[in-house]
Chain A
Amino acid sequence: MSETTTPDTNPEPTKPTLPEQRAGDLAAAEGETLRKAAVLAAEKVEAPHSLASDAWHELRRNPFFVVSGVLILLLLTIAAFPSWFTGKSPRDAELREHYIDPPQWSHFFQADWFGYDGQGHSIYARMIYGARASIIVGVATTVMVAILGIVIGMLAGYYGGWVDSVLSRVVDVFFSIPLLLGALVILMVTKDRNEWTVVLALGILGWTQIARIMRGSVMTVKNSDFVVAARALGARTPRILMRHILPNAIAPVIVVSTISLGVFIASEATLSFLGIGLREPTVSWGLDIASAHEVLRDAPHVVFFPSAFLSVTVLSFIMLGDAVRDALDPKLR
């Protein structure tokens, strides 16, 4: 009898009674509301939320963006200030060292972490100095391609009619030329080849994809009510194009540009590997892969390091492009 009346002898003291449970739920709910309010308040502080600031908010939490972003920043720094990262020149040849020896502790202490190639160059120094060629080709080609593609795509998409027909056929013609093959032909007939000739060759052939994307994007945006409204309130055509259409149409171009930056870096390496891109004494990862492939069986590490640097760089840009696309496309959230 006492069992049922005294709380001490309750067989399941941990199980809360119904009112208690409800009170607990209420407390939890209240906590949840408070938390939500706190989140809302925190977001209020960060207002205004434009598309760009929303995207930035989204990006900062994306591990792919953080990793690729850090890598790209590092690469840009290396390309700009290679002497910060190594005291050696990539053209100094230590003839005592031989490529057949894999990296050793002694190399480590001389800050030649990756050993030496066939000429006795420090592979590490060559990686550091080779970054500049890749970054220049990648960034400059992308800038060129983006400007060409955006201007041509925007004109075709906005004006339509015969302007669109003519420009679209031009796009088709260039689109039908394979990037590598076309660049190969252009560079074969070029006498003095350096980074900038490679940029030009890739840029002339690489803008078609961006032009097509921009055209489609502009065609969607130009029928928006806010474009009609801007015209109804007296805006001139250049203003409508630059202020109203461009910012609303550019998101897919940013994504594709970032991804194709990696592609252009890989193309430069391919061209250099084939002996058509950059030439010695320019230091480039592609050239290093080319000169090392002859000793691949004896010393795989000589090929491994330039290939790894190249792959990580290309991958970083592609990952960045993917992350930016996810952030700019609200439907993927």
Chain B
Amino acid sequence: MTIDITDPVLVNPDMPLLEVDDLHVEFHTRDGVAHAVNGVSYQVHPGETLAVLGESGSGKSVTAQAIMGILDMPPARISKGAIRFEGQDMLKMRKEERRKLRGQRIAMIFQDSLSALNPVYSVGFQLGEMFRVHRGMSRKDAKAKAVELMDLVKIPAAKARVGDYPHQFSGGMRQRIMIAMALALEPDLIIADEPTTALDVTVQAQVMGLLAELQQEFRMGLILITHDLGVVADVADNIVVMYAGRIVERAPVHAIYANPGHPYTKGLLASIPRLDLKGQDLYAIKGIPPNLTRIPPGCAFNPRCPYAQDVCRTDVPAVVDLGAHRQSACHFAQAVLDGELQASDGLDGLDGVDGRDGEVSADVR
């Protein structure tokens, strides 16, 4: 095998495929400036699955849209930061250069496959369009490729169904077609924005399994955006937890289930229903996520945090390195990890869920 020395990933194996660096996104609304993303940094390496976990409004989808370049600007504005794909800052690229990356190098899977597919064209036409636009294939070749792709994502009787329209497929089958569309040009990075949220639980597992399998096969980087802790446990390598536009915790996925290093993550895990705690009241994080036009001073999570001290209300916590590739943005990160703090609402003693069994299945939204 020859090594292509112009390929920056092979020349420097440590270089991440994608690097989001101190990204700030704000929305100018009538109620003021909403700070949706406030200094998010993460990296994805080839073949890695990074889960981005957070509630609605935590900035996880906005970050993804900024990476794809599909943010509506205005009202959105990227006020600071860089998004580097193979070392090149995409925010500084020319429009046409950036468009060429989309679909070919970076692709996206959307949440609602019914509305993300064009209702007036057959799925075969839409899959084939990728090849006709980017590869200049003939209609006939493109259709053959479409059937191939539908086979790849395990749609039964692909040849017979290639002329069907999106509404003629079930939700799970449609999401497979979305995956096929994203995979069409064999991109290096796939961003999946809540790919299984619109599906029912049994289908979720199948689709997620398929996605993980194909990601392994093609050695793609995968950013998996979700609010579902259950989805994350089985497929992700690393996880970042977002809250109010910031990353509050970053860790390898199993470590976080075993022992969370941030009160917010701890609260999320404690609010998962568990068989061994049957009959007890389910834990819930008190309060609601902050209004992004008025993020509280200090740590954004302080009004809801059972461990909050005075310092949390005044100082923005720095990111603390906890070792073993773990980081947490909490003033008391080490103490939370070691379980040395006294919670004001009975959160203690609820953590330690083992995500490896795949038993974890809860919606934290």
Residues of chain A within 8 A (CB-CB) of B164 are 47-48
**A104 interface contact, C-beta 8 A:** no
**Nearest Cβ on chain A to B143's Cβ, whole angstroms:** 14
Inter-chain CA distance A247–B108, complex, in Å, is 24
- Which of the residues A47, A49, A232, A244 comes within 8 Å of B102, measured between beta carbons? A232
**B314 interface contact, C-beta 8 A:** no
- Which of the residues B117, B130, B134, B163 comes within 8 Å of A226, measured between beta carbons? B117
**B253 interface contact, C-beta 8 A:** no
Range, interface on chain A: 20 to 34
Inter-chain CA distance A235–B129, complex, in Å, is 10
**A230 interface contact, C-beta 8 A:** yes
* Known pairs A47-B164, A48-B164, A49-B165; A231 contacts B102 (CB<8 A): yes
- Which of the residues B70, B117, B118 comes within 8 Å of A232, measured between beta carbons? B70
* Known pairs A48-B164, A225-B112, A232-B68; A248 contacts B118 (CB<8 A): yes
- Which of the residues B107, B116, B130, B163 comes within 8 Å of A225, measured between beta carbons? B116
Say yes or no: B116 contacts A234, CB within 8 Å.
Answer: no
**B122 interface contact, C-beta 8 A:** yes
From A232, A236, A244, name the one whose CB has the most chain B CB atoms within 10 angstroms: A232
Say yes or no: B122 contacts A235, CB within 8 Å.
Answer: no
Say yes or no: B182 contacts A48, CB within 8 Å.
Answer: no
**A50 interface contact, C-beta 8 A:** yes
Inter-chain CA distance A244–B181, complex, in Å, is 16
Give B92-146 interface residues, CB cut-off 8 Å to A.
Answer: 99-104, 107-108, 110, 112, 115-120, 122, 129-130, 133-134
**A40 interface contact, C-beta 8 A:** no
Residues of chain A within 8 A (CB-CB) of B110 are 225, 228-229, 232
* Known pairs A224-B115, A225-B112; A233 contacts B130 (CB<8 A): yes
Inter-chain CA distance A129–B119, complex, in Å, is 44
Say yes or no: B168 contacts A49, CB within 8 Å.
Answer: yes
Residue of A nearest to B178 (CB): A229
Say yes or no: B108 contacts A239, CB within 8 Å.
Answer: no
Residues of chain A within 8 A (CB-CB) of B117 are 226, 229
Give A39-65 interface residues, CB cut-off 8 Å to B.
Answer: 47-52
Inter-chain CA distance A238–B70, complex, in Å, is 16
Say yes or no: A236 contacts B182, CB within 8 Å.
Answer: no
**Nearest Cβ on chain A to B333's Cβ, whole angstroms:** 36
Say yes or no: B99 contacts A234, CB within 8 Å.
Answer: yes
Say yes or no: A234 contacts B168, CB within 8 Å.
Answer: no
Say yes or no: A233 contacts B182, CB within 8 Å.
Answer: yes
Closest A-B pairs by Cβ, 4 of them: A234-B103, A234-B102, A233-B103, A225-B115
24 contacts across the A-B interface (CB closer than 8 A): A47-B168, A48-B164, A50-B165, A51-B120, A225-B110, A226-B116, A226-B118, A228-B70, A229-B110, A231-B102, A232-B102, A232-B108, A233-B103, A233-B107, A233-B108, A233-B181, A234-B103, A234-B133, A235-B103, A235-B133, A239-B133, A243-B118, A247-B120, A248-B118
Supply 17 further A-B pairs (C-beta < 8 A) apart from A234-B103, A234-B134.
A225-B116, A226-B117, A228-B110, A228-B116, A229-B110, A229-B117, A231-B70, A232-B103, A233-B102, A233-B103, A233-B130, A233-B181, A235-B133, A243-B129, A244-B118, A247-B120, A248-B118
